[in-house]
Amino acid sequence: MDFILIAVIVLGAIGLIAALVLFAASKKFAVYEDPRIAQVSELLPGANCGGCGFAGCGGMADALVKGADAGSIEGLNCPVGGADVMGQVADLLGMAIANGEPKVAVVRCNGTCEHRPKIAEYAGLRTCAAMHACGAGETACGFGCLGCGDCVEACQFDAIRINAETGIAEVDEEKCVACGACVKACPRNIIELRKKGPKGRRVFVSCVNKDKGPAAMKACAVSCIGCGKCEKECPFGAITVEANLAYIDPEKCRLCRKCVVVCPKKAIRDVNFPTPPPAPKPKEPVAPKPVEAPKPVEAPKPVEAPKPVEEPKPVEEPKPVEEPKPVEEPKPVETPQPAPKKVSRGAVLDTDSSISIK
């Protein structure tokens, strides 16, 4: 009996000492957790989908609390809870957030079985990742939807399915929460998160084929050929063409649908519009210029008879050269004799003269 009592006392003492040690260690090495994290976690939907960019709702709650302490929670958004949940979180943390526009996943491929016939049969692991790693798949288009359903398995809200008739993934707008799981799962990046738009209306290019026009048309009848007509027609500069592929910027698009009308391959889709796109205005016919009356053709002038060719004149014989006349000797120049002087009376003659007249 004493041995049992001693054993009980010893075990009790050991347990008490261990409890004290654990209590001291918990106080010494305790990690403080903000109680607001638990409160925010209760407000979040708890889907742990990863659409917010964190591993789960716990990581999102921790980031929201730290953002509130830093003064801003901009850029943090729960796609599943939406604006209502984010509003409750902002009220709890004493923050103000801007209401973002809701988004929805969009499958940018219109290559149905009719438009994109099969040219091969795949007999391997039936996943989009495996088929994409093997090549272009069962069709000639190496950019379109493979239809194996990797996006369907990634979606936790049953918002996407594979249409058995078309072989393309389709998104249910009512169930889609824009978590982005399908975007990450698609190996060809044909799924994009875009704004739902007013009343769910949106316009987008339903093609991601970057081949040149002839190759793209050969692979799919409704592929974008990069002709640039939509870019020229858009009055808001919302469309750009790069690498043989058109893209519509949802921030600039005003849903005028002029691009839908001018697209020659019908690669641009308009969703949830009540009426078809307006037909293009016919160009006013240009009035033809009045045809000028032809000028009367002048009668041809009569051709003059050619003049008779004159016979060449006979060449005159050259005249004989005259002999030069002999040069006459110059005559001697006669010296002029002085004229006799008149002697007046009473004049004295020269000394040679001995006669004097008085």
Tell me how far apart the alpha carbons of residues 201 and 2 are, in angstroms, rounded to a whole number. 87
Maximum distance among all Cα pairs of the chain, rounded to whole angstroms: 229
pLDDT surpasses 90 at 79: no
Q: Write out the two tokens for 336.
A: 């002029």
DSSP state of 221: T
What is the pTM for the complete model shown? 0.64
Average pLDDT over residues 120-142: 90
pLDDT digits (tens, 9 = 90+) for 308-336: 666 666 666 666 656 666 656 656 656 55
- pLDDT value, residue 183: 93
Share of the chain above pLDDT 70, in %: 77
Average pLDDT score over the chain: 83
pLDDT digits (tens, 9 = 90+) for 291-308: 676 676 676 676 666 676
pLDDT digits (tens, 9 = 90+) for 176-234: 988 888 999 999 999 999 998 899 999 999 999 999 999 999 999 999 999 999 999 99
Output the 3-class SS for 285-327: CCCCCCCCCCCCCCCCCCCCCCCCCCCCCCCCCCCCCCCCCCC
Tell me how far apart the alpha carbons of residues 60 and 341 are, in angstroms, rounded to a whole number. 162
- pLDDT value, residue 356: 43
Distance, C-alpha 7 to centroid of its chain: 84
pLDDT surpasses 50 at 353: no
Going by pLDDT thresholds of 50, 70 and 90, the confidence category of residue 3 is: confident
pLDDT digits (tens, 9 = 90+) for 29-59: 887 788 899 999 999 988 888 888 888 899 9
Q: Which of 195, 264, 191, 254 is nearest to 223 (CA)?
A: 264
Other residues' Cβ atoms within 10 Å of the Cβ of residue 219: 22
- pLDDT value, residue 319: 66
- The residue ranking higher by pLDDT, 242 or 318, is 242
